Structure 1
Amino acid sequence: MSEHITVIGTVVGDPERRQTAGGHTVARFRLASTERRRDEASGNWVDGHTNWFTISAYRSLAENVLQSLGKGQRVIVVGSFRLRQWESAGKQGTSAEIEASAVGHDLLWATTEYRRSESAPQTVTPVTGLRDDAAPSASPPDEHAYAGASDSPF
């Protein structure tokens, strides 16, 4: 089973550095995602069930995870979800794993400082917004407009 998933939770241990057989960097960490619900009787918010995930990030995402995340931080993870059956020393179980395509801090709980990494992929090209026959203006292009973007802010 492989599904696209977004999970918000708490990093429960510092990310660990690993290597693939091909020498690529892998960052692995555990994430606890606890349901919060309002207790109708008391009116208070209470913790519900906690889901535990093993998160793996590869290559440049792995390097950035290793430099940016630590135990106790709230994060948002987007990636491919897999249930994996395992057996070890006579024990069997199922683990929930996510191969991350994006990881970021949850800004509801903290602030963070964005620094572009040296090896960040340069796949997005800014659009000037000029027609072919328009004269260039004195103002710089909108740094938030990108190729393929529509006029909609969403």
Structure 2
Amino acid sequence: MNETVLCVVGNVATRPVYRELPNGPSARFRLAVTARYWDREKNVWTDGHTNFFTVWANRQLAVNVAASVEVGQPLVVQGRLKVRTEMREGQQQAWASADIDAVTIGHDLTRGTAAFRRSAKPETPARAETRPEPQWETPPPSEPDAQQDPETVLVT
């Protein structure tokens, strides 16, 4: 609930690695995000510090990343930030990694064009048992009985 959701714009730094796992497809790649600022003294745009994020995609997003994303492409990534720290053998300081658990990924159209294609929907597995569909239609009104008083017949 108290997650850090962010949106970053950067360039793909590594080739996406795709894996089929027991809980579904997964893909990861590194994204380089470089700050840019206007240098008033030189009167030019200048690159600032570059942050690298490991972007994780799961399920259908992972499949689409593997088919669509290449090194060097500009992307917009939205997802949850996860910062991990761990100690490694022979090191005095903890190692830190900033990961993004991606919710959505797209090409940055301010820097190029893209041709969108819908991904094929996975086929639904056949049902184990075949039951007839229930009859949801309202039956047509029946003819009133001849013996019934015409004034008491309800017409719907």
Bin of the TM-score, shorter chain as denominator length: 0.7 to 0.9
Matched, 1:96 2:67: no
Q: Summarize deviations over 1:101-141 as a string: whole Å, max 9, x none.
A: 00000001110000000028xxxxxxxxxxxxxxxxxxxxx
Is this contact kept in 2: 1:18–1:26, CA < 8 A? Answer: yes
Equivalent residue number for residue 68 of structure 2 = 68
Structure 1 unaligned residues grouped into runs of 5+: 121-154
**Per-residue deviation, 1:23:** 4.3
Q: Which of the pair has more CA radius of gyration?
A: 2
Equivalent residue number for residue 42 of structure 2 = 42
Quote the Cα distance in structure 1 between the aligned partners of 2:52 and 2:17.
17
Quick one: which amino acid aligns to residue 108 of structure 1?
T
Is this contact kept in 2: 1:85–1:95, CA < 8 A? Answer: yes
Q: Summarize deviations over 1:65-106 as a string: whole Å, max 9, x none.
A: 000000000000000001111233334311000000000000
Quote the Cα distance in structure 1 between the aligned partners of 2:12 and 2:87.
25
Quote the Cα distance in structure 1 between the aligned partners of 2:35 and 2:62.
27
Quote the Cα distance in structure 1 between the aligned partners of 2:6 and 2:57.
14
Quote the Cα distance in structure 2 between the aligned partners of 1:90 and 1:32.
28
Count of paired positions: 119
Equivalent residue number for residue 17 of structure 1 = 18
Equivalent residue number for residue 141 of structure 2 = none
Quick one: which amino acid aligns to residue 35 of structure 1?
A
TM-score normalised by L of structure 2: 0.72
Quote the Cα distance in structure 2 between the aligned partners of 1:87 and 1:112.
42
Quick one: which amino acid aligns to residue 11 of structure 1?
V
More displaced 10-residue stretch of structure 1: 92-101 or 11-20: 11-20
Quote the Cα distance in structure 2 between the aligned partners of 1:116 and 1:89.
46
What is the aligned-residue RMSD (CA, Å)? Answer: 1.5
Structure 2 unaligned residues grouped into runs of 5+: 123-156
**Per-residue deviation, 1:13:** 1.1
Q: Indicate which of 105, 108, 130 corresponds to 1:106.
A: 108
Quote the Cα distance in structure 2 between the aligned partners of 1:25 and 1:114.
21
Percent sequence identity over aligned pairs: 39
Quote the Cα distance in structure 1 between the aligned partners of 2:8 and 2:85.
21
Quote the Cα distance in structure 1 between the aligned partners of 2:67 and 2:31.
17
SS at match of 1:83: strand
